[in-house]
Amino acid sequence: MTQNIEIEFKNMLTKQEYERLLREFHIEEYQIFSQENHYFDTAEFSLKSKGSALRIRKKQDQFEMTLKQPQQVGLLETNQMVNQKEVSNAIQSGVLPPGEIEKIIEKEGIQFPKIKYFGSLLTNRVELKYKNGLLVLDHSIYLNKEDFELEFEAADYQEGKGVFNELLKQFEIPIRKTKNKIQRFYEQKYSQDSNL
């Protein structure tokens, strides 16, 4: 298990802005990789109501279960490596792998066995080192929808915010209030479910 504080800044992009940034940063096709996120919560959205999120991410041939919890600055990420069989069980049977994440969730008063699979989101991503941080361009596809996003991960909040705002200004990209992927995924799922 590993834990770290994630400080990141996000801004939604239009497809044109996304494609322009790929050109400006000279991104080649081979630099873009895919990762798949599988999302989990209780039927009552108990994790979401606490501002938390649980996912299993497939990146190349590895799987990692991540619990994100809000902190005063950024998010506390708890990561637990899981195997293919555990992922299949989680998706098909709703049985999540035991371990440290289970203990943390139970401490929050949420019954771990009540957590179920909600669906998946595929992201085509490129990552670049940029001004003491990590610049990320994402094209995500989920629930018959796609979107484009710019992220900047930094070690220091103030420095990161300055760099990110400067970047948006440089490329004349308007600041857009941006929800994280799991929020966008859940909103789309909720809107689909309520249209049934």
DSSP 32: -
Residue 154, pLDDT score: 95
Q: Which amino acid is at 196?
A: L
Residue 195, pLDDT score: 65
Sign of CA dihedral 37, 43, 44, 46: negative
Q: Which two tokens stand for residue 34?
A: 């895919």
Q: Is 117 exposed, middle or buried (0-12, 13-18, 19+ CB in 10 A)?
A: middle
Span 48-61, mean pLDDT? 89
Q: Which residue has the tokens 């992927």?
A: 181
Identify whether the C-beta of residue 1 lies closer than 8 Å to the C-beta of residue 100. yes
Identify whether the C-beta of residue 171 lies closer than 8 Å to the C-beta of residue 17. yes
Q: Which residues contact residue 131 at a Cβ distance below 8 angstroms, ignoring those fewer than 6 apart? A: 163
Please determine, looking at this structure, whether the domain spanning 2-194 carries the CATH number 3.90.1010.10. Answer: no
> Concatenated DSSP letters for 32-98?
-EEEEEEEEE-TT-HHHHTT-EEEEEEETTEEEEEEEEE-SSSEEEEEEEE-HHHHHHHHHH--PPP
Q: Where are the domains of the chain?
A: 2-194
Q: Which residues contact residue 116 at a Cβ distance below 8 angstroms, ignoring those fewer than 6 apart? A: 40, 41, 42, 43, 94
Lowest mean pLDDT among 25-34, 43-52, 105-114, 133-142: 43-52
| This model's pTM is above 0.75 | yes
Residue 149, pLDDT score: 98
Asked whether residue 23 carries a pLDDT value surpassing 90, the answer given is yes
pLDDT digits (tens, 9 = 90+) for 140-177: 999 989 999 999 999 999 999 999 999 999 999 999 99
Residue 137, pLDDT score: 98
Q: How many residues does the chain have?
A: 196
Residue 75, pLDDT score: 85
pLDDT digits (tens, 9 = 90+) for 77-117: 999 999 999 999 999 988 999 999 999 999 999 999 999 99
